[in-house]
Structure 1
Amino acid sequence: MNYKIIERGSFQVVGVKREFSCLNGENLREIPNMWKEVHANGTSDLLVELNNGEINGLVGVCIDKRAMKPEFMDYWIAAEYDGPKPEGLEVLDIPAAKWSVFEVHGAMPDSMQNAWEQIFSEWFPSSHYEHAAGPELEFYPKGDPWSPEYYSEIWIPLK
């Protein structure tokens, strides 16, 4: 797996969020449906317009809620944004962190889901890093996410 380690100060994203169960792979089935809906209803276009941060594209944000609500997570479709809260969207602060940024190559959603599996089944067990508390990010730049040549990233906070 190709990856790099970066450090980044805190930043803010705006977007929409939903809660998903992680039981029986429900999140793996329903998050792609959320993306389809956000593309169809114009929310993704609005987020692209609002995007004014270092991360130039859309961001999927995964927040593990198992400590409070076993087997659940929040998933955001968002954009990095510095400014007042836009109407109809929510704001999430991403804390400063050291990140492992993994390259993901290929069509969505399979390439992203396969990369997640490989990171946790292969990379973490063989690396000297541990997962830090905090949100995980999926970065989706401009382009055709269903193309076999599509490039995206997974950002995981480290300790």
Structure 2
Amino acid sequence: MQYRIVEREAFQVIGVNREFPFEVEDGGIQAFQNFWNTIHENGIFDQLEQLRSGETKGLLGIWAEVNKEENKMDYYVAAEYSGDVPEGLKSLDFPASKWVVFEVQGPFPSALATTWERIYSEWFPSTGYVPTEIQPFEVYIETDPKNPKAYNEIWVAIK
């Protein structure tokens, strides 16, 4: 697995969210796709792309406010952004932290799922690092499912 470790000052992201079940069952992936289709259709995707600034190179997928007991989580599609929050968007603040950034190359979205599995089954046990309570996120740079070499990233705050 290719990765790099970066130190980041605190940063803000803005975006939109929807609540989903924590346990993704049959049809759950389609619910995420429907959410993405909606933000493409209503112009939010383009708005976030235009507002995007900072170190991350794409739009972000963030699983925030996870509640396993109630089987729910908020999923955000967001962009790193500095400034006042535009109307209709929400903000999330990330504190200063050390991050491990995993490079994900392969078909979207299956390569992301495979990389998540390897992060927790291989990388963490072999490095001595542990994840913090800060929510990890995916950075969507190339999302064409027909591209077998799509490049995306997974960011996990570590200590």
**Smaller-chain TM-score range?**
0.7 to 0.9
Q: 1:151 aligns to what?
A: 151
**Residue pair 1:21, 1:27 contacting (<8 A) in 2 also:** no
Counterparts of 1:5 and 1:109 in 2: how far apart (Å)? 23
Compared CA separation, residues 117 and 16, structure 1 to 2 (3 A):
same
1:101 aligns with 2:101: yes
- Map 1:92-131 to 2 at 5 A: 92-131=92-131
**Residue pair 2:22, 2:67 contacting (<8 A) in 1 also:** no
Q: 1:37 aligns to what?
A: 38
Compared CA separation, residues 8 and 120, structure 1 to 2 (3 A):
same
**Residue pair 1:9, 1:96 contacting (<8 A) in 2 also:** yes
Compared CA separation, residues 127 and 31, structure 1 to 2 (3 A):
farther
- Map 1:1-159 to 2 at 5 A: 1-25=1-25, 29=29, 30-66=31-67, 70-141=70-141, 143-146=142-145, 147-159=147-159
| C-alpha deviation, 1:4, in angstroms | 1.0
SS in 1 for 2:131: coil
Give the AA of the match of 1:92.
L
Q: Give deviations 1:1-60, integer Å, cap 9, x for gaps.
A: 111111101101110012222225479613333223322332111100111222232111
| C-alpha deviation, 1:73, in angstroms | 2.2
**Residue pair 1:20, 1:26 contacting (<8 A) in 2 also:** no
Over the matched positions of the two proteins, sequence identity in percent amounts to 43
In structure 1, the gaps of 5 or more residues are none
**Residue pair 2:14, 2:78 contacting (<8 A) in 1 also:** yes
| C-alpha deviation, 1:90, in angstroms | 0.6
Counterparts of 1:27 and 1:75 in 2: how far apart (Å)? 16
In structure 2, the gaps of 5 or more residues are none
Q: Give deviations 1:96-139, integer Å, cap 9, x for gaps.
A: 11111001012222111121112112222222111101111111
Compared CA separation, residues 133 and 26, structure 1 to 2 (3 A):
farther
Please, what TM-score do these two structures have when normalized by structure 2?
0.87
Counterparts of 1:86 and 1:27 in 2: how far apart (Å)? 32
Please, what TM-score do these two structures have when normalized by structure 1?
0.87
Give the AA of the match of 2:58.
G
Compared CA separation, residues 152 and 61, structure 1 to 2 (3 A):
same
Superposition RMSD on alpha carbons, in Å?
2.1
Give the AA of the match of 1:38.
I
